[in-house]
Each structure stands twice: as C-alpha cells, then as structure tokens.
C-alpha cells in the first residue's frame, strides 16, 4: 500500500506542486528561469477576462449535457448487453470501437458529416424535405458546441458502457434472483434492484465522465480550435492557447489549478450527495 | 454467494407476449445503437480502401478496393518498428499500473487509515491535471535524469498518470464488495494479505480487466508525451509515427491515413475481444460457480 | 552531375536582381517553360499515394546553380537534429542533405523530425528551449510572433555573421522576405520557400458559362451572379481551416489599397487599428461575407471539404494557398482543367493584390553544440543550388529569384503546369504576417465575428485596437 502511494506521489505531486507555484509567477516559457512572482495577479486577470468566463460556462455546459447522456445510454446498453445472446463478446467489442478509434479519424469523419454544402447531415436533411434545417453546424456560434458535444457523446458511450458492464458482472446474483422470484418484471428489476446496487459504480462512472468533460481538449481543439468566436472554447483549449500561443505559462497554470479545484469540488459534492442518500435509506 | 455473469431473460412465462415485445424492443435499441456506433468506423474502413478521387467524389463505399493502401501505409509509417515500441511501453506500463492500482485501490477502498482523504484527493488531482501542464516539468526532469529518448521516459509517466485512473476504479469496485465476505474470511483466521489476494481480488476481475484494457488503450494512443519525450526515430511509438503521416508526402492522402489508423486500432480491439472471452467470461464463470 | 555546372548565359551573371528586366526575363522564361516538351505530361490527377519525385531527374538539363562548398566541415561523424512541422518537405530536405554529405562532408548527417503540425512542433520546441536543450540544432519557425519569441528570448542565433561572411548568399533571398524576418535589426531566420494565396478556378466551368478571369471586384460579382443562378457556388473558401484563414480577405484588401505598411505599423502599435483604411478592409470582409460569393458557411468548411467541393464541380473557384496545390491536384478527376489567378483588384483602378508570405524558415538553436555546421546545412538547403532542388521537389516557390535555366530544369520533372504561374506572382506579393500574438488573436476573433454577423466592422477593429493598446509599447522592432 505504502509503495503505491509513494509512486503516486512521486509522479503526481511534482507536476501539481510545480503548476501551483508557477501560477503565482509570470513566465513566457522560453527562458530557462521563471519570470517574477506576481501573487494572485494571474487569477485576477482571469477573473477579468470574459473569455475565461465563456470557457468556464462552455465547460460546464459540456459536462452537464454530456455526462447524463453518456452514462445513461451506457447504462441502458450495458443492461441490454448483459443478457445471454449470440456473439455477445463480439457485440460488446463492436460498441467499444468508437472509444478505440483515433481522434484524428473521428474528427475527419464528423467534419464530413457536418460540412454545410456537401456534408452528410445536411444532405440527409435535404433528402427528407427538412432542407430548411440545413446549417453550418461547426461554423455557427450557436450550433458549434452542441455539435461537438454530440461527437463526444458518440465517442465516449462505449467507455461508460465497458465500466458499467463490468459493474453489472460483479453484482450479487442472489439478490437479483430474489427480486425475480418476487415477481418483478424487467423494468422493476432494473430500477428497484439493479440500479441501487449499481449506484457506486454509476457514481464512479459519472465522476470520470465529469472529469473527462471538464478536461476535454483534443476533440474540441481539432474540430473547432475553440471557435467560432469562442463558442466552443473550453478551459483546456484556453489553457493551451495561453501556454503555447500567448506565452502566458503562469496564467495557463492558474487555469489548471482552477480546473483541479473544480473537480475536487464536484467529487466532494458527489460524495456528500451519495452518502446522504445512503443515510436516508438506512 | 455467486456472482452474476449473465442476467438471463425472465424464465417466468408470465406476460409471455409482453416479454417477447420487450425483447424485440431491446433488440431494436441495441441494433440502432450499434449502427450509430460503428457507422463512422465502417466509413473509416471504407476510406482505407479508396483512392483520393473516390473519396473527394463523396463516395461512401469504396469500389474498386485499393488494397495497396495497406502495405503503403505500413511502409510509409514504418509501422513494424513502431508497433514494437508501442507494445513494450503500453504493456509494461499497463502491467505495473494494474498491479499497483490493485493494492492501492484496496487500501483506499477498504482500510481506514489516517490521511485517506488526502490520498484520494491526490488521485483525483492526478485524474484532472491536464497533461500539457505536466509536460515541461517532466521534460526537464527526464532530461536531467538522462532518460529522454528511452522507453522509460514514457513508461514512468504513463504508470504515474495511469495509477490515478487505476486506483480510482479499483477503489470504487473494492468499496462495493460486501463486508460479510471479509468478516467471514477473518473469522476463518486469514491474514490481511490473504484476504486481499484470495477473497477480494478475484471478485474484482471484471474491474481489473477493464482497467487493464483502458490503461493499455490510453498508453497506446498517448500522443503528447510520446511526441515530446521521444524525438529519435528508433524509439518512437505509433501515434507519433502515424500522425506524422498527416503532414508527410502523404499530405492530404486520407485513404492512406485511414489505412494506417485501422492498423493502429486493431491491436486494442483484438485485445478487448480476447479479454472479454478469456478473462472475464471464461475465468469468472468457471472459477466462481462453486 | 558535376560539382560545378557551367552557368549558362544568365545575363545577371549570378547576381539575382529584381529589376524590371529581371522580371521580364522571368516572365518570358516561364512562358517558354510551359511550351518545353515534358518527360511525362500529367494533365489530370495522380490518385492514391503520391509518387515521390525521382531523386535524379530524368532528362538532360541539370541544376544550373553552383552548389557551394562549406567553409566548415565536421571533423568526426556528427548528426544535426532538425525539427520541422511540414512532413511533406522531408523528401526535399533529405535529398539535399544527402547530396551535401556525398559531395562535401561525409561526416555530417541530418536527422529530421517532422511534427504533424505547427502547434505540436511549437510545444516541443518550447519545451526543449525551456530545458536549455542543445537539441534541436536547426529549428523551423514561422515568421511573425514565433520568430519574435525565440529571438527576443535569446534562444536562437541570428544570421548577421553568416551574411557578413557570405553576401552572395544573402542576396539570394527576396528582400521583402528577409525584411519580414528581421527583428531588432538582425535577420533571425531564412525562408526555405515562399507561398502565395490565390484563387484556383475550374476552367471548364468558366468556359461553359462564358466567364472570363475576373480582373476587378465588379467582374467577380458579375461572375458570381451567373454562377449562383446556375446553382454553382462561386468561391469555396475554407475559413474554418485554421485561425488565420478568416483574415485572408482583410489582408487582401489591405494589399489592394496599399495599406500594408499601415497594417504593419498598427501591428507594432504605432498606428491605430481603427484607421480608416483598416476599417475599410474590415468592411470589405463584411461585404464579401454577405455577398453570396462564398459557398455556404465558410467558417464551417475546412480544407479537405473545400477540395471535395471544388473537385466535384460544386464550386467554380477556390480561394486557397499554394501549399494546397498537391492535395488539390490529387483530388481532381481526369479532364479537370485547373487554373489560377490573383484576387481581382478590390478598388477601381487599383492593382490586383497577391497575398504572399514565406513558408517555413530555418534558424539555429543558441545552445546547439555545432552552430557553425548547422548554419552550413541551412545554407545548403536554402542556397542557390539547394533552393532549386527544394522547390523542384515540391512545386512551391523559391525563396528568391531563380534563373530561367533553373526553371527549365525544374519543369523537366515537375508535373505541374501551374508552377511557372506561381513564380510570376511571387515578387508582387504583400505579406500576411502579424507579429504580436495578442493582436493576431484579436484580429482572428474580430474577423470570425464579422463572418458570423456578430460584430460590425468598426466594432471588430475597435476590439483589435483595444488588444493592441493593452500591450503598450512593443519590446521589439521589425525590419
């Protein structure tokens, strides 16, 4: 146990401490030593920056929309896939394909789907007579974020699915059998017996999804680079730009620290909510 | 107590037609979800057999098939050697991480010790911290240790960051195991380690397999560290080699890129499939039926 | 091929100049080159994997320039590391490096690391510089903010000494290209190639609808009306390709109204971005976005989509860059006739603005262990002999003027009838480089806002001016 913590600490504490300390300094990233100590100036600058608030808002929207969809759909599929059926292992592997697919290809493919003139989505809409809905999905500040979130959900449902499936496979069979003997149908079985048993795993998957959503970078960066007009700018893309385009490593570190604080806060909230429910049940 | 390896369709004949309808609905949902999930993947597969004019003409299905894309992609990205490096780095990190995570997850999940909250916070931070931030300090460190351009330069950080993920999941699964099992084993006079290894660990096999798969996937796909810490050709891993195709002489040649990405993705899919069959279902079902 | 190929009849005798006579020669030579018989005439696409340009060109002409011997050679086997971000240049770079090794210095090798893109390379370079690493020896950088960053932080060595020792080498570059790369009075890096933004067009569609190459904005609008009536998008413009693309119309107008100098001064903070000429440029961007000339939703279109639309005949024109030449060619169906023209004159009586800039530029890491050898390698890649091979391999424009004989030699193996046309445009270009990252960011956002209809042109320029003022006096000088 102790050596495990030691390894964790060695590889994680150092970058974290480094970032925290760096967030109180100014640094372009080009010089071998940091710039001057500026206290909380970086944090103040962020507070005054409307792009920061936009990015925070976008990140929150991203999480609030994506997580329920991802975990909900994942759970549904996990239950469906947990039955005896032909080619079960093959089916499960197929659902895992989006997770495995390289982001480069995913973005290329969805770019083709979303393109306004010849893209598959608009072509389909026109084909069924809904041409009026045809839209420059990634080029319009209003539809860009939902479009990117849709891709993220598509790609990550498999992720939640695999974890929840593992959870289902670990459930005590006798409790479920008891429920069935009592005459519960599939729906009741799922909501009254399985879901409560799965709560810790659902919470775990949910938190992972939230963390992933707050941290999301590659997908957004490659698809839209945070545009148009910051409509898809999230905390991680802002961090990247501050660090590597605007040469503000201190500000970038401050964003990282804020991100971590957000996650810790969410986790604490989740623990509180879950344990409250446990107490209520008892 | 037996573990569920499958939830069979209700055996009761009660509402037989309803059950059949339910099964049909379930199948429908599954099929729809499957279609949406793999359609883009199928398109990528199709793309990998096209040539550029076909692709830009907006075709969905490749015809005639241009299988030369595969050997060309293989050669262009020097995949043979990249596979080797990626395999070693991904597997070693994965094994190390799974081993340590199992211990750490058990400790966090079942043992009450002082500072437990702090360690958990550390794990969460490890999950959250964006890699770009860790990039420069790790680079400076690795450089002063003389580890740049070695496989260790990747194995170390992958294990470290993977630990956060692995520990988090294992903790969750260990926490979910019932107290009675532990108490029963203790009554039987088993020592702490014995309880861990003989009783608790086997019950988390699905979780272990899941963690292993995800860690392997993460390490296999990892790009930023691989790109920055390894700049010499011989040690490169797959992602950097393949993404370099993006701007190479095959610039704008998406079919070749697609072919290389299919080659890139196959090992993980095969691994997952095998884990499904062997590890989770095969071993679990067999071992725990007593 | 011998070491010293005899110089054939170049009137300037090896001292390239940009006199009108020189330009005339260039123009005539280009015209002649298009008529020369070619080894294999490819009038259509080359599908699938691109064939590599053969290392030794088939044909009788040889590189007319002299491959000068280096002043310094390696005393023991040495490998120079080179980090760049345009992988498709690797074949050209490798070819030249290997020739150099064969002819002059068997001890010196070049190891090229091609990052998938500029962003990834910049991250790697920054990290290495922060760690004071002697690797890479040679760094590819972009003109503008990147160059300013690395130079003002003392991370790279400038070319002052190298030029002092070899004036002929310095004279081989286009002066306006070097000016772009001169920070605080010193040339920080040298260009490998130059690039131009132009309008590609589908000759077939033009002929079919009786449209001539537009010379003025009015011509363009008339052509647009005809095309729109037939359901063909006039111009496909991949404004979503990267963050700089939305700014092209702005630069174009500024070039067309001779406001480039003003643009540079505003960038450096000595003139306001709200000057009437610059606001007029923003108004032009707005006008174009609302004109119906673009294929729908330009901000959502990236290069591959645009290529697909153009190659499929759904648009008649493609506003893009010379660097796209390869991927466009690869996508064209057989029988497609590709042409190009510079953007029409934007004001009546004005000239046609040609947006050009340098491509990748090369510089030396200040902590490199062998800077002298690094400079020699750069000179090989970008010098008189090297530039001809480099651009022959890639079909991009050279970093300085080259003789008609050189062009003829290149056309022997270059399968691109448009190459001489690009060369004709090169000397007339205005530049499209911003030196201040915060200003570039504000300008990008401002242009995107105009496209999206979220800001008026004036409001957009005010945001840019605010960003510029926030920076105060710039700590560097350009030119």
CATH number at residue B169: 1.10.3720.10
CA distances from C412 to A222, C27, C39, C324 (A): 39, 18, 6, 21
A236–B130 CB contact, under 8 Å? yes
User: Is residue B140 domain-shared with residue B37, that is, in the same domain?
Assistant: no
Select from B36, B161, B173 the Cβ nearest to the Cβ of A170. Answer: B173
Of chain C residues 116-155, which have a CB less than 8 A from chain A?
Answer: 119, 122-123, 126, 129-132, 145, 149-150, 153-155
User: Is residue B107 domain-shared with residue B175, that is, in the same domain?
Assistant: yes
CA distances from A88 to A91, B37, C312 (A): 5, 16, 43
A200: closest CA of chain C, how far (Å): 39
Q: Average the pLDDT over C157-167 and give the result.
A: 95
In angstroms, rounded to a whole number, what is the distance separating the alpha carbons of residues B107 and B113?
9
Q: Is B61 domain-assigned? A: no
Residue in chain A closest to B217 (alpha carbons) equals A100
**Are C141 and C359 spatial neighbours (Cβ–Cβ below 8 Å)?**
no
Residue that wins the pLDDT comparison between C183 and C349:
C183
User: Is residue B267 domain-shared with residue B174, that is, in the same domain?
Assistant: yes
Q: Average the pLDDT over C121-136 and give the result.
A: 89
CA distances from C411 to B68, C125, C193, C358 (A): 29, 36, 17, 22
Residue that wins the pLDDT comparison between A14 and C296:
C296
* pLDDT confidence of residue C203: 95
* pLDDT confidence of residue C45: 22
Q: Is B246 domain-assigned? A: yes
- pLDDT tens for residues C299-316? 989 888 898 899 889 999
Predicted confidence band of residue A29 (pLDDT cuts 50, 70, 90): confident
User: Is residue B105 domain-shared with residue B169, that is, in the same domain?
Assistant: yes
Q: Average the pLDDT over C382-402 and give the result.
A: 92
* pLDDT confidence of residue B281: 59
CA distances from C399 to A152, C174, C290, C427 (A): 43, 6, 37, 10
Residue B166 has pLDDT above 80, yes or no: yes
Q: Is A18 domain-assigned? A: no
Domain count, chain A: 1
Q: Choose from B1, B11, B176, B199 for mutation: most chain A CBs within 10 A.
A: B176
Q: What percent of chain B has pLDDT over 70?
A: 86
Predicted confidence band of residue A282 (pLDDT cuts 50, 70, 90): very low
- pLDDT tens for residues B210-234? 888 888 888 888 888 888 888 777 7
Q: Average the pLDDT over A196-208 and give the result.
A: 87
In angstroms, rounded to a whole number, what is the distance separating the alpha carbons of residues B40 and B261?
13
Q: Is A179 domain-assigned? A: yes
Predicted confidence band of residue B288 (pLDDT cuts 50, 70, 90): very low
Is residue C37 exposed (0-12), middle (13-18) or buried (19+ Cβ within 10 Å)?
Answer: exposed
Q: Is A15 domain-assigned? A: no
Predicted confidence band of residue B2 (pLDDT cuts 50, 70, 90): very low
Full residue range of the structural domain in which residue A84 is found = 54-281
* pLDDT confidence of residue B15: 60
Q: Average the pLDDT over C45-65 and give the result.
A: 55
- CA pseudo-torsion sign A24, A27, A32, A37: negative
User: Is residue B80 domain-shared with residue B163, that is, in the same domain?
Assistant: yes
Q: Is B180 domain-assigned? A: yes
Q: Does B5 touch chain C (CB under 8 A)?
A: no
Q: Is A10 domain-assigned? A: no
Residue C237 has pLDDT above 60, yes or no: yes
Neighbours of chain C (3+ CB pairs under 8 A): A, B
Q: DSSP secondary-structure letter at C400?
A: S
* pLDDT confidence of residue B197: 77
Residue that wins the pLDDT comparison between C36 and A262:
A262
C261: closest CA of chain A, how far (Å): 24
Q: Is B139 domain-assigned? A: yes
- The alpha carbon of B124 is separated from its chain's Cα centroid by a whole number of angstroms, namely 19
Q: Could you tell me which residues are beta bridge partners of residue C138?
A: C82, C364
* pLDDT confidence of residue C22: 38
Q: Is B54 domain-assigned? A: no
In angstroms, rounded to a whole number, what is the distance separating the alpha carbons of residues C403 and C400?
10
- pLDDT tens for residues B3-46? 444 444 445 555 667 777 777 888 888 888 899 888 888 888 88
C404: closest CA of chain A, how far (Å): 41
Q: Is B143 domain-assigned? A: yes
Q: Choose from A137, A229, A246 for mutation: most chain C CBs within 10 A.
A: A229
User: Is residue B42 domain-shared with residue B172, that is, in the same domain?
Assistant: no
User: Is residue B43 domain-shared with residue B119, that is, in the same domain?
Assistant: no
Residue that wins the pLDDT comparison between C420 and A1:
C420
The pairing of beta strand C108-114 with beta strand C78-84: parallel
| CATH code of the domain containing A253 | 1.10.3720.10
Q: Is B59 domain-assigned? A: no
Q: Could you tell me which residues are beta bridge partners of residue C395?
A: none
Domain count, chain B: 2
Residue C382 has pLDDT above 90, yes or no: yes
Predicted confidence band of residue A148 (pLDDT cuts 50, 70, 90): very high
Least confident range of A28-32, B190-194, C149-153, C403-407: B190-194
B233–C50 CB contact, under 8 Å? no
Q: Is A39 domain-assigned? A: no
User: Is residue B152 domain-shared with residue B272, that is, in the same domain?
Assistant: yes
Q: Is A11 domain-assigned? A: no
* pLDDT confidence of residue B14: 53
Full residue range of the structural domain in which residue B262 is found = 71-288
Question: Please, which residues have CB within 8 angstroms of residue B251's CB and are 6 or more apart in sequence?
Answer: C87, C88, C326, C327
In angstroms, rounded to a whole number, what is the distance separating the alpha carbons of residues B237 and B72?
19
Q: Is A43 domain-assigned? A: no
Residue B255 has pLDDT above 70, yes or no: yes
Q: Does C312 touch chain B (CB under 8 A)?
A: yes
* pLDDT confidence of residue C293: 95
Residue B258 with chain A: CB contacts under 8 Å: 105
Q: What percent of chain A has pLDDT over 70?
A: 93
């Amino acid at each position: 146990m102790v050596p495990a913590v030691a390894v964790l600490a060695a590889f994680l504490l150092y970058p974290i401490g480094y970032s925290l300390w760096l967030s109180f300094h100014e640094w372009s990233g080009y010089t071998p030593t940091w710039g001057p100590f500026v206290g909380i100036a970086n944090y103040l600058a962020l507070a005054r920056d409307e792009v920061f608030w936009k990015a925070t808002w976008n990140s929150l929207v991203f999480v609030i929309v994506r997580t329920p969809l991802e975990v909900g759909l994942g759970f549904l599929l996990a239950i469906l896939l947990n039955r005896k059926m032909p080619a079960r292992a093959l089916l499960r592997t197929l659902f895992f394909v989006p997770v495995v697919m390289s982001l480069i290809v995913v973005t290329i493919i969805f770019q083709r789907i979303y393109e306004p003139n010849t893209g598959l989505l608009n072509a389909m809409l026109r084909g069924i007579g809904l041409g009026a809905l045809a839209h420059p999905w990634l080029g319009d500040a209003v539809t860009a974020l939902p479009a990117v979130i849709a891709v993220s959900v598509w790609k990550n449902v498999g992720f939640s699915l695999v974890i929840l499936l593992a959870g289902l496979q670990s459930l005590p069979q006798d409790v479920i059998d008891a429920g069935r003997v009592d005459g519960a149908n599939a729906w009741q079985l799922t909501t009254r017996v399985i879901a409560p048993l799965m709560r810790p795993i659902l919470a775990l998957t949910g938190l992972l999804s939230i963390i992933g959503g707050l941290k999301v970078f590659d997908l957004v960066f490659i698809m839209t680079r945070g545009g148009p007009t910051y409509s898809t700018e999230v905390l991680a893309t802002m961090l990247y730009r501050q660090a590597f385009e605007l040469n503000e490593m201190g500000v970038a570190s401050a964003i990282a620290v804020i991100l971590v604080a957000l996650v810790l806060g969410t986790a604490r909230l989740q623990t509180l909510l879950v344990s409250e429910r446990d107490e209520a049940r008892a | 107590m037996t573990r569920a390896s499958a939830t069979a369709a209700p055996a009761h004949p009660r509402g037989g037609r309803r059950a059949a309808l339910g099964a049909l609905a379930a199948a429908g949902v599954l099929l729809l979800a499957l279609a949406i999930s793999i359609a883009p993947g199928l398109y990528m597969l199709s793309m990998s057999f096209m040539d550029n004019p076909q692709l830009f003409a907006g075709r969905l299905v490749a015809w005639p098939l241009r299988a030369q894309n595969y050997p060309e992609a293989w050669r262009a990205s020097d995949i043979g050697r990249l596979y080797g490096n990626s395999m070693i780095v991904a597997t070693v990190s994965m094994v190390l991480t799974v081993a340590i995570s199992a211990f750490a997850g058990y400790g966090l999940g079942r043992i009450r010790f002082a500072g437990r909250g702090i360690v958990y916070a550390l794990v969460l931070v490890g999950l959250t911290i964006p890699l770009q931030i860790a990039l420069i300090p790790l680079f400076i460190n690795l450089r002063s240790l003389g580890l740049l351009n070695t496989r260790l330069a990747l194995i170390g950080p992958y294990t470290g960051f993977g630990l956060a993920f692995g520990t988090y999941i294992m903790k969750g699964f260990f926490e979910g195991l019932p107290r009675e099992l532990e108490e029963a084993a203790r009554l039987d006079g088993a020592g702490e380690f014995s309880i861990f290894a003989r009783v608790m660990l086997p019950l988390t096999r699905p979780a272990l397999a899941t963690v292993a798969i995800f860690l392997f996937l993460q390490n296999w796909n990892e790009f930023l560290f691989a790109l920055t810490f390894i700049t010499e050709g011989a040690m490169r891993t797959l992602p950097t080699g393949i993404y370099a195709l993006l701007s190479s002489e095959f610039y704008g040649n998406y079919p070749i890129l697609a072919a290389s990405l299919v080659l890139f993705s196959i090992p993980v899919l095969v691994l997952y499939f095998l884990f499904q069959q062997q590890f989770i279902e095969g071993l679990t079902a067999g071992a725990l039926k007593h | 091929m011998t070491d010293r190929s005899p110089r054939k009849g170049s009137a300037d005798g090896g001292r390239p100049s940009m006199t009108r006579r020189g330009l005339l020669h260039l123009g005539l030579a280009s015209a002649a080159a298009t008529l020369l018989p070619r080894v294999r005439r490819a009038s259509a696409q080359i599908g699938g994997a691109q064939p590599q340009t053969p290392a030794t060109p088939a044909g009788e002409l040889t590189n007319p320039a002299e491959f000068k011997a280096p002043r310094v050679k390696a005393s023991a086997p040495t490998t120079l590391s080179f980090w760049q971000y345009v992988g498709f240049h690797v074949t050209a770079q490798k070819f030249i490096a290997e020739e150099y090794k064969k002819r002059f210095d068997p001890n010196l090798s070049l190891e090229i690391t091609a990052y998938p893109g500029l962003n990834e390379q910049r991250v790697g370079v920054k990290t290495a510089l922060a760690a004071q690493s002697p690797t890479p020896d040679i760094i590819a950088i972009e003109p503008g903010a990147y160059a300013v960053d690395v130079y003002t932080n003392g991370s790279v060595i400038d070319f002052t000494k190298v030029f002092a020792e070899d004036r002929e080498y310095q004279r081989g570059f286009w002066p306006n290209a070097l000016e772009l790369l001169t920070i605080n009075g010193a040339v920080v890096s040298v260009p490998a190639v130059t690039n131009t933004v132009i309008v590609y067009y589908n000759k077939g569609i033009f002929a079919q609808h009786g449209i001539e190459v537009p010379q003025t904005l009015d011509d363009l609008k008339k052509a647009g009306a005809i095309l729109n009536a037939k359901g063909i998008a006039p111009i496909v413009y991949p404004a979503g390709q990267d963050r700089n693309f939305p700014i092209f119309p702005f630069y174009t107008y500024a070039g067309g109204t001779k406001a480039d100098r003003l643009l540079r001064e505003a960038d450096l903070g000595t003139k306001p971005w709200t000057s009437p000429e610059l606001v007029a440029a923003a108004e032009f961007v707005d006008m174009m976005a609302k004109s119906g000339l673009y294929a729908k939703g330009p901000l959502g279109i990236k290069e591959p989509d645009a290529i697909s639309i153009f190659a499929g005949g759904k648009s008649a024109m493609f506003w893009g860059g010379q660097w796209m030449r390869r991927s466009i060619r690869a996508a064209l169906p057989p029988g497609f006739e590709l042409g190009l023209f510079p953007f029409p004159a934007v004001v009546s009586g004005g000239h046609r603005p040609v947006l050009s800039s340098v491509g990748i530029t090369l510089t030396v890491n200040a902590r490199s262990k062998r800077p002298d050898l690094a400079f020699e390698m750069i000179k090989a890649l970008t010098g008189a002999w090297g530039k001809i091979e480099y651009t022959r391999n890639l079909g991009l424009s050279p970093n300085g003027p080259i003789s008609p004989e050189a062009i003829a030699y290149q056309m022997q193996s270059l399968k691109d009838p448009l190459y001489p046309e690009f060369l004709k445009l090169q000397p007339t270009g205005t530049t499209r480089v911003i030196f201040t990252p915060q200003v570039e960011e504000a300008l990008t956002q401002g242009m995107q806002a105009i496209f999206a209809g979220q800001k008026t042109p004036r409001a957009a320029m005010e945001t840019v001016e605010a960003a510029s003022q926030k920076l105060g006096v710039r700590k560097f000088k350009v030119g």
